[in-house]
Amino acid sequence: MSSRSPVFQKGLLSIKDLSTNEIEEVLSESERMLKVCRSGIKADHLRNMIMATLFFEPSTRTRLSFESAMQRLGGGIIGFADPSSSSTMKGETLADTVKIVSSYSDVIVLRHPRDGAAREAAGFADVPIINAGDGAGEHPTQALLDLFTIRKEKRKLQGLKIAIVGDLKNGRTVHSLAYALARFRNDVTFIAPRQLQAPADIVSSLNEKYGQRVEMSESLDAALDADVIYMTRVQEERFKSKAEYLQFANYYNINRNFLSRSRNDVTIMHPLPRVREISPEVDSMKNSAYFRQASYGVPVRMAILKMMLSEK
């Protein structure tokens, strides 16, 4: 009888597709995979399996951590990191691309600039689809590694004050994280310029479906008593013009001066890449967790792939 986990048999399109127990199962498996990473031993859970990475938008951490995860589990990799090297440039539709690549692989990791593209692709795929970011929609695997980071840094996932700061309108990472945090009892504050606040439908859904009350502010000082500050960049590629982007490019900055006024034990996170929102002087401070956060992408994505594909 197969011992494959039922959690991800149909893929991972949204963090909302997972129950609280399933999220906790992923985090526990991620802890086991972290030990595998640190042991230096290559596992063979996914030997003879192939992961296809279809990245229609740029990526460093997500794509490379997925590829590292698959290799550490003994699997192979195909795909592209630049759509200009694919038949998309010849007019091929996403549906046709996914249908074809399904026949070459056992799982597809998809990043696409259009909201809802991952769910659309899942309708044409014969293998599980993992949403690696769809426009300004969601980024569920990032949310899982964010939860894993919070638990590693704070030793718990409940009873925390968490400030989420930056471009909350266009930031798919914070959309997924907000839904993930709603499964646990925390005080959440959204800090953003009025024009870049989280979409109203997300805020209302958090409140009505999950009972998550969210405070909203434009001032970074609203994060001074936070246990965790989750910074995000202003997403230049989502703006209609350079001039519009520059209105908000330097809106917030975490530096030593700010941290001298915040909680001594505050944890600073960021999905990266950062632009101007965290000063490099913070990197060497005990509060900075964003590079550790990025490193956890490998064990967390190992856990997802193993639970999705392995029968061991």
Domains, the chain, with CATH or none: 11-138+296-309 (3.40.50.1370), 140-294 (3.40.50.1370)
Of 10-14, 61-65, 170-174, the least confident? 170-174
- Distance of alpha carbon 197 from alpha carbon 170, whole angstroms: 9
pLDDT value at residue 3:
53
* Peptide bond preceding 128 in cis form (omega within 30 of 0): no
* Per-residue confidence band for 1, with pLDDT thresholds at 50, 70 and 90: very low
93 as an active site residue: the answer is no
Strands 50-55 and 76-80: parallel
Output the six-digit token pair for 63: 């794509």
Q: In what order do the strands lie in the sheet with 214-217?
A: 214-217, 187-191, 161-165, 228-231, 267-269
Dist CA 11 CA 59 (whole Å): 20
Q: Dmax over Cα atoms in the chain, in whole Å?
A: 59
Question: Annotated catalytic, 139?
Answer: yes
Average pLDDT (174-182) is 90
Q: Which of 63, 111, 112, 175 is catalytic?
A: 111
Structure tokens that stand for 205 in this block: 């859904």
Tell me the three state secondary structure of residue 263. Answer: coil
Q: Give whole-number Cα distances, 116 to 112, 138, 277, in Å.
A: 9, 9, 28
Six token digits for residue 53: 């990475």
Mean pLDDT confidence for 123-139: 91
Average pLDDT, the chain: 91
pLDDT of residue 93: 92
Where do the H-state alpha helices sit in the chain? 20-39, 61-72, 94-102, 117-122, 140-154, 172-181, 200-210, 242-246, 256-261, 290-295, 297-309
* Cα(34)–Cα(300) distance, integer angstroms: 8
Catalytic site residue 276? no
Percent of the chain exceeding pLDDT 90 equals 69
292: tokens are 């550790």
Q: Quickly tell me which residue has 């400030």 as its tokens.
A: 163
Is the separation of the CB atoms in 264 and 286 below 8 Å? no
Q: Which distant-in-sequence residues (6+ apart) come within 8 Å of 23 by Cβ?
A: 15, 144, 147, 180, 183
Which one from 90, 155, 240, 242 is the annotated catalytic residue?
90
Q: How far is the C-alpha of 148 from the C-alpha of 26, rounded, in Å?
A: 9
Catalytic residue among 62, 141, 189, 267: 62
For residues 177-203, average pLDDT: 91
**Is 99 a residue of the active site?**
no
- pLDDT for residue 2: 42
Which residue out of 4, 16, 61, 154 is catalytically annotated?
61
Mean pLDDT, residues 284-290? 95
Question: What angle is formed at CA 276 by the lines to CA 291 and CA 229, rounded to 5 degrees?
Answer: 55
Calculate what percentage of the chain has a pLDDT beyond 70: 96
Is pLDDT at 244 greater than 80 in this prediction?
Answer: no
274 contacts: CB under 8 Å, gap ≥ 6? 231, 233, 290
Q: What is the mean pLDDT of residues 187-213?
A: 89
Spacing of C-alpha 168 from chain mean position: 14
Helix axes 172-181, 200-210, angle to 10 degrees: 10
Lowest average pLDDT, out of 27-31, 79-83, 180-184, goes to 79-83
Is 62 a known active-site residue? yes
Q: Which residue has the higher pLDDT, 4 or 26?
A: 26
Residue of 72, 139, 169, 301 marked catalytic: 139
pLDDT tens-place string over residues 289-299: 999 999 999 99
Residues 254, 279 contacting (CB under 8 angstroms): yes
pLDDT value of position 300: 98
**pLDDT at position 69 over 50:** yes
Cα(22)–Cα(32) distance, rounded to whole angstroms? 16
What are the pLDDT digits (tens) for 82-100?
A: 877 777 777 889 999 999 9
Helix residue ranges per DSSP H, 113-241: 117-122, 140-154, 172-181, 200-210
